[in-house]
Structure 1
Amino acid sequence: MRAIPLLALLLSGWFAVPAHADEAQDWLTRLGRAEQQQSFQGTFIYERNGSFSTHDIWHRVQNGQVRERLLQLDGSAQEVVRVDGRTQCVSGTLVAGLGDSPDSSARALDPQALKAFYDLAVIGKSRVAGRNAVIVALTPRDQYRYGFELHLDRETALPLKSLLLNDQGQLLERFQFTQLNTSDVPDDHELQPSGDCKPVVASSNKESEVDTPQAWTLDWLPPGFQLTSSRARKDAKTNVVVNSLMYGDGLARFSVFFEPLNGAAVTETRTQLGPTVAVSRRLTAPEGEVMVTVVGEIPIGTAERIALSVRSGSTPVKP
């Protein structure tokens, strides 16, 4: 299970029929509200890089609060519980890699903004988990982001199936319900974490979060991507401060991390696992050498160009 919310994620080249554009926007608007309005429980499969896993999910909207529990059913036991998008506890291999992220709740989609960078179209209908669905395609207008095919429940607009595709239409990631119940609201017992679910320390801990002026800038960004957050975190053991910047286009996201090397011998990397890429390079700054790493669900060529555009200082270098 990935350390991000499934409904935040859900959200090839099909021809976008103009007459269908308004309908596609309406469905995406409904999708953006669905997680905040609709309780449900069900079972879904997740596929990435040829590997499958099966998960149960309980999602309850009550008194303005959204509470969610996910449990992996095969392989090692993995569990996560979130309240209003904030991680409360994790178990299994999630413990080491999952932090408490305020941005983990489903993002409110802005179809009007997305239209500038994606062609939006309703391209058909389908049936998933015994429920009727409408198929919405989001096809990127450039090579800097991936495309989506979303099968949205006609009754609730919840994503019954999501395919993430590269520019050649190849499948990078699949999310698909095999069973979905929107009639019965999950009860307290179903949403209660198991004893193995370990509490997550809030990221607002003053000993780990530090305020530093932004010392980095990017000379190039893919069109439509904007800075959404910046952080500086100090390692309690080494006192090393790692800066990070997060960017998004309203649907896709990537982060850039800056870690001082302090003389350490490291190797530049270029890796991809399913849709997730990681590209790193050494950069010499006034304060010493730094490892710059770009991580996100973007094409690897996009990540490489971003990494090469990083500069020390707050003023971008003119091309």
Structure 2
Amino acid sequence: MTRLFPLVLLLVAGVVYADSNWLSRASKAVRTTDYRGTLVYLRDGKMDTLRVVHRYREGSERERLISLTGEPREIIRHNGEVNCILPEKQVVLVAKHAMQSLLSNVADMSAETLQDNYTVRDLGERRLADRQCRAIAIEPRDEYRYGYRLLIDAKTDLPLKLDLLQGDEVLEQLMFTDIDFAADIADSELQPTFDTEGFRWVRHQPMHSAKPGDNDDDAELPPAWRIDDLPPGFSLAESGVRQVDNNLMARQMLFTDGVATVSAFIAPLAERKAFSGETTMGAVNAFGREVDGFQITVVGEVPHITAEMIGNNIRRDTGAAASE
């Protein structure tokens, strides 16, 4: 559930420089519009219903999502910090998303680069949740990425529906069933419903970013890793290390084509069983292989051919130290 609106933000902000005034305005609206609404999220034949409250005030963005189906869950977001409350487990998961730094790389990409990989089309007027919308299609030019279809509210420019597509097949769907564009949202509406006193707080370790090509001399990692070949249009946006547990560091590499993102994780195999080959969960594809005692795992909302190509082309850069 934590990635629902980050997905919309990443998609819309990633194509802000594409040749479409609708997408440019939607990019701003996702961050700055105040609203309350009910969302339906469909994937793998399952449906989640969520209640969302969003507010933007004086440059600060706050959001609260409550799961109305399945296990109780609540997410409180303030700018880049996200608290996921799991009351049945009495746990609060805390993370600081690296999405902002990744988006800074995406936003620097030119319209020409995006247009090499996608076609943006205006599909005309549609209606959703009793509101007039504009339908926008973002269609891939090849097999290495998915397509997207948005319904953007004509009055506020907020996306009210998002389809993730592979050809004509809808892999995931996110849409409002009702929405209220509130004149004022009180602080109390953005506070947790559950009393978290006595809960266990688990803090997600941030990635320590390094510029592509930097040499990180971590005891648990080889000097460097490189990517020999990437799917067309993709580039390395970030590379860094993340502490997995007290004795283990893993490298994370983030790749993007300006819309889609893919993560590669590299960690010592130790005593764990290696993951080899591919697996799929809805629109998410993962590919794994073992290299010199290290597990490489590539994960992203991209076709399996993309995850596999990235995973097969990550290599230990044994000549990095000698060349410096």
TM bin, normalised by shorter chain, reads 0.7 to 0.9
Paired with 1:39 and 1:314, the residues of 2 have a C-alpha distance of: 51
1:99 counterpart (87, 95, 106): 95
Paired with 1:159 and 1:94, the residues of 2 have a C-alpha distance of: 34
Task: Give TM-score scaled by structure 2 length.
Answer: 0.82
Q: 1:164 and 1:94, CA in 2 relative to 1: closer, same or farther beyond 3 A?
A: farther
Partner of residue 17, structure 1: none
Paired with 2:116 and 2:186, the residues of 1 have a C-alpha distance of: 42
Matched, 1:171 2:170: yes
The residue matched to 2:69 in structure 1 has which SS?
A: coil
Moved more, 139-148 or 255-264: 255-264
Task: Give TM-score scaled by structure 1 length.
Answer: 0.83
Matched, 1:293 2:302: no
Q: 1:29 and 1:94, CA in 2 relative to 1: closer, same or farther beyond 3 A?
A: farther
Name the count of aligned residue pairs.
296
Cα deviation, residue 315, structure 1: 7.1
Code of the aligned partner of 1:229? E
Q: 1:229 and 1:23, CA in 2 relative to 1: closer, same or farther beyond 3 A?
A: closer
Percent identity of equivalent pairs: 33
Moved more, 41-50 or 307-316: 307-316
Q: What are the equivalent positions in structure 2 for 1:1-319 lying under 5 Å apart?
A: 1-3=1-3, 5-8=6-9, 11=12, 25-91=20-86, 99-103=95-99, 107=103, 112=111, 113-166=113-166, 168-195=167-194, 201=203, 203=205, 212=216, 215-237=224-246, 239-284=247-292, 289-313=293-317
Cα deviation, residue 2, structure 1: 4.2
Q: Deviations over 1:132-164 (max 9, x none)?
A: 000000001111100001100011111111111
The residue matched to 2:144 in structure 1 has which SS?
A: coil
Code of the aligned partner of 1:180? I
Cα deviation, residue 196, structure 1: 5.1
Q: 1:200 and 1:267, CA in 2 relative to 1: closer, same or farther beyond 3 A?
A: closer
Paired with 1:59 and 1:105, the residues of 2 have a C-alpha distance of: 22
Cα deviation, residue 215, structure 1: 1.2
Q: Deviations over 1:146-185 (max 9, x none)?
A: 000110001111111111101x311100001001111333
Alpha-carbon contact 1:137-1:148 (below 8 Å) kept: yes
Q: 1:205 and 1:146, CA in 2 relative to 1: closer, same or farther beyond 3 A?
A: closer
Paired with 1:312 and 1:98, the residues of 2 have a C-alpha distance of: 32
Q: 1:201 and 1:96, CA in 2 relative to 1: closer, same or farther beyond 3 A?
A: closer
Cα deviation, residue 194, structure 1: 2.6
Moved more, 104-113 or 134-143: 104-113
Partner of residue 220, structure 2: none
Alpha-carbon contact 1:100-1:200 (below 8 Å) kept: no
CA RMSD of the aligned region, Å?
Answer: 2.9
Instruction: For structure 2, list consecutive stretches of 5 or more residues without a partner in the other structure.
Output: 209-214, 218-222
Q: Deviations over 1:186-215 (max 9, x none)?
A: 211110013356656374599xxxx92561
Alpha-carbon contact 2:73-2:84 (below 8 Å) kept: no
Alpha-carbon contact 1:23-1:122 (below 8 Å) kept: no
The residue matched to 2:255 in structure 1 has which SS?
A: strand
Cα deviation, residue 43, structure 1: 0.6
Paired with 1:59 and 1:292, the residues of 2 have a C-alpha distance of: 37
Cα deviation, residue 220, structure 1: 1.5
Alpha-carbon contact 1:161-1:177 (below 8 Å) kept: yes
Cα deviation, residue 24, structure 1: 5.9
The residue matched to 1:116 in structure 2 has which SS?
A: helix
Instruction: For structure 1, list consecutive stretches of 5 or more residues without a partner in the other structure.
Output: 12-21
Paired with 1:105 and 1:161, the residues of 2 have a C-alpha distance of: 26
Alpha-carbon contact 1:3-1:98 (below 8 Å) kept: no
Paired with 1:185 and 1:296, the residues of 2 have a C-alpha distance of: 37
